[in-house]
Structure 1
């Protein structure tokens, strides 16, 4: 394994080498001077007297001087690299909120400014590239919605045995487009740091359960809502969180057998949880599925594989997490406590 180069270690080594060379040269100069001073003594006595004088008047003061100098050098080196450590801590603290992040160069040493400016310029270019990609996806999705709506109307008038299947395919395409637009809206809102609004989670749960209940009941399944005793109020984007909860309920409906029950729970705390009667997801499996275009075994055959990826992205934009409890067959949206 290659040993990393350390600037501080090289500085200490260089200063130590300078001190050593300076000490040797100083001792040599003193010895040369004493060789003329002690000419009246015999050679052996002159050498002993010179050594004694150098130890008392050169070596000892050097040792006394080098100790505080070494301490001060260590302190100066640490202070010099402190802004870099602080910048690294700021970068780590920005995890999950990287959009729009820039390194604060106001406290950087002049020697580090070229590197800091280059990194900030790179972050600007990356943000611009992501924004262009999101804008393109949103524009494409918006342009496709109108022809798909017209196609759906035409299929309503089609009297053919394949009409229902084609309508389902068109509905799946519209769902994919809605998902793409939702992703673009979430990322754009996060980048613009759009303020969140305080919303009771019971309102979100009641709204979504009311919207999906007819379809679930039509499939001979049951859905229950438990709002708890102390409904939490959290700062969220209402439409995004509603879409995340709907995704979880639709996933639960797909794995719950006929006659089974889907349970939606609010709380305790800032939590929205959905429990089903399927096999459950392990944390490792969930981590794999939140990657875009990864599909669960129970995913809809007409789905786009974006459901859990969208849920995870929505929770990340809110500073929350998507968690699973395989023993309870439950997925939960966990928000930061208000």
Structure 2
């Protein structure tokens, strides 16, 4: 039985490869956060923009490669559930990070116009994905019309986020607990060339790990009889989102709250493009019309979680039960309930 041929892997071999890839993604993703924090200061683009573009995209590379590879191999449900399950679990991780900031609720301390704009962008993109299965099942060169709309809307949304960062039309009230972007000492940092080189190298490592993770995930699904939705939501989405958990907690403990929140929300917005890229790679038609009822349930659940988060950023409760915001608590409960529904049976 050759380890070089994924089709011949046993469940043990698939599990070992899966675990190794998850470890690599966790280590590389954790390291890349520090690099992004330094790039945010050395380039002057700010933590919110860096979190949305650099951190959000880079820590999502493993998941994006996995989704596209799955779609190319005809595993549409794994591709979609990995993408959309990752958004839900990363929002869940943000609520966990709230537990590690003791001065105030994270939604209060990290409120900013760019973060709220990013969240509005995320909700719009999720709504488009949720709408797609109800549109006519037509494709042009194998691509559904919603796919270019997703890419275009994302690019437009990034422009709005950047404009909001530079010239905000309003600002949240500054309180004693509000933490703003405070650049580190640039003179003590490595050169920009070294930072960009390490950033690109780590992105490559994350991409290779995601590419290797796909055959391991399909092996686990085949050998255990679990659905691709469960494997995507519970295994691949969680494993490829490990960097977001580690980096968010690390950023919160370091006081880089805007980067922590911006990285999660920005990464979530970027993750919606996994579905668009997967539609291009999927050659059997529209990938949106291959979505199961379970996956559509997760889109609706993630929409609700994202809406609650933006309400928390606007409401800005200082302290809640156990020093965690009411919105974070609601997100924790919703995610756990969603996992329970998925494991016990179809929500349909």
Asked if TM exceeds 0.5, the reply is: no
- Whose strand fraction is larger, Structure 1's or Structure 2's? 1
Q: TM-score, normalised by structure 1?
A: 0.25
Q: TM-score, normalised by structure 2?
A: 0.24
- Whose helix fraction is larger, Structure 1's or Structure 2's? 2
